[in-house]
Structure 1
Amino acid sequence: MDAILQQFFNWGVMAQALPLLLKGLGMTLLICAVVIPLGALGGLLAALASTAQARALRWSAIAFVDLFRALPPLVLLIFIYAGLPFAGLRLSPFAAVTIAFFLNNSAYFAEIFRAGLLSVPKGQAEAALSTGLTPAQTLIWVRLPQATRNVLPDLLSNVVEIVKLTSLASVVSLGEMLHAADLVRSVTYNASPLILAAGLYLLLLWPLVRLIGRFERRIAG
């Protein structure tokens, strides 16, 4: 038992690792601050394109969504970071992570927004148009607010997945939280920094998970 506590719950090692992990947490939050808004915007545009009347635009959006939902994000990240240099395009770790996560999460946001838009009765849009609103105004003031409310738990769940996805950035040596924890582990030969990183992820995500559950119960009720 003492050996397990020493190897996994060594408070001295955790105290030494904490400053580096907090720095890594800052990078994790920075990735999220960039990827989540970009992914949501890209997903919304793809969702609108996938429900458009123009067949070429609709099928292009569907192909984009299917492709980047099917590709594992780790494969996509490694291809962008390590594969594109063979074509003469070398990106920084942060740029590679941002692009890979943007493409992956835009596809998932697109499916969520598409489901939300389809959940709004057509009569709502028709009534708005009959009052003199333009199609753009109808989308912004009528369809989109209702669609977002209908799929809000799914949107928040995707945000949670994005935060967890940031741990993949460690494979390109970007100094996010998991990379920082693994770096300390390799120096101390102790797994306690990984336990500390898991605890920080839990503190970061548990309130959001509870919030999602609250929204789901409210919608169901």
Structure 2
Amino acid sequence: MQSIQWQYIFDPELALESLPFILRGVPYTLGIALTSTMLGIVIGMILALMRLSEFKVLRWAARLYISFMRGTPTLVFLFLIYFGLPFAGIQFNALTSAIICFSLNAAAYISEILRSALSSVAKGQWEAAAVLGLNPYVTMKKIILPQAVRIAIPPLSSVLLDVIKGTSLAAMITVNEIFQNARIVGGREHDYMTMYILVALVYWVICSIFSLLQDYLEQISSRYIIN
């Protein structure tokens, strides 16, 4: 251990000097992650309902989409949108391309989480609501969804954390998020090791904050547990 030259692994002075510039990428990182996750939830709910549909065409269309998105690397899909679509006359800027990519990708995972959560609610809840004269929309909104959300919060939080970390891929198409800023400083100072360690710590802090938010949401939603 004495032979290790720690100054070439992590330079605290450079890290402190570079931190403000690195943190400028946080709004991009969180903006992409939160927007993509919210859009992913909307699309994922549609896919989940398609998977639960009585119509075989809808079920298989949803399965095909989910299989494709879960079976292809996110970076490849990001490149297809940003670099490939312009050849077809469709062009998005880097930020929009990143949001589209992460939204469509997250939706595939979210849909399976929501489908599982909805399926886990006892069928007796539907039957009890029908006896009370509630229509399917009210039953879903007031009875089924609150219980399903309680079940879905932990895995949905995991998807959000994965999207937050995955936004680092947006650096490949020049979005000025956290990792891209770290690459810029690393290239300028010829010290990528310090920057990569610093950016790892920044991601860790961000994800830790959202993990605490997950715990808070679980406590709030626990009121919907049916004993």
| Fold-level similarity (TM above 0.5) | yes
1:108 counterpart residue number = 109
1:61 counterpart residue number = 62
Instruction: Summarize deviations over 1:34-56 as a string: whole Å, max 9, x none.
Output: 11111111111110111011222
Q: How many Å apart are 1:125 and its aligned residue?
A: 0.9
2:152 counterpart residue number = 151
Asked if 2 retains the 8 angstrom alpha-carbon contact of 1:157 and 1:212, the reply is: no
1:90 counterpart residue number = 91
2:113 partner SS: helix
Q: Does 1:200 align with 2:199?
A: no
Cα distance in 2 between the residues matched to 1:183 and 1:113:
39
Q: How many Å apart are 1:209 and its aligned residue?
A: 4.1
The share of aligned pairs that are identical, in percent, is: 35
Matches within 5 A, 1:140-219: 140-190=141-191, 191-209=193-211
Pick closer, same or farther for the CA change 1:175–1:2 going to 2, 3 Å. Answer: farther
2:186 partner SS: helix
Q: How many Å apart are 1:64 and its aligned residue?
A: 1.5
Q: How many Å apart are 1:181 and its aligned residue?
A: 0.3
Query: What is the TM-score when the length of structure 1 is the normalising length?
Result: 0.91
Query: What is the TM-score when the length of structure 2 is the normalising length?
Result: 0.89
Instruction: Summarize deviations over 1:62-114 as a string: whole Å, max 9, x none.
Output: 22111111121111001111111111112100111111111100000000000
1:9 partner SS: coil
1:12 counterpart residue number = 13
1:117 partner SS: helix
1:151 partner SS: helix
Structure 2: gaps (5+ residues)? none
Asked if 1 retains the 8 angstrom alpha-carbon contact of 2:34 and 2:160, the reply is: no
Pick closer, same or farther for the CA change 1:69–1:83 going to 2, 3 Å. Answer: same
2:136 counterpart residue number = 135
Asked if 2 retains the 8 angstrom alpha-carbon contact of 1:36 and 1:159, the reply is: yes
Number of positions where the alignment pairs a residue of Structure 1 with one of Structure 2: 218
Instruction: Summarize deviations over 1:113-157 as a string: whole Å, max 9, x none.
Output: 000011011111111122111111111111111111123211111
Q: Higher mean Cα deviation, 104-113 or 153-162?
A: 153-162
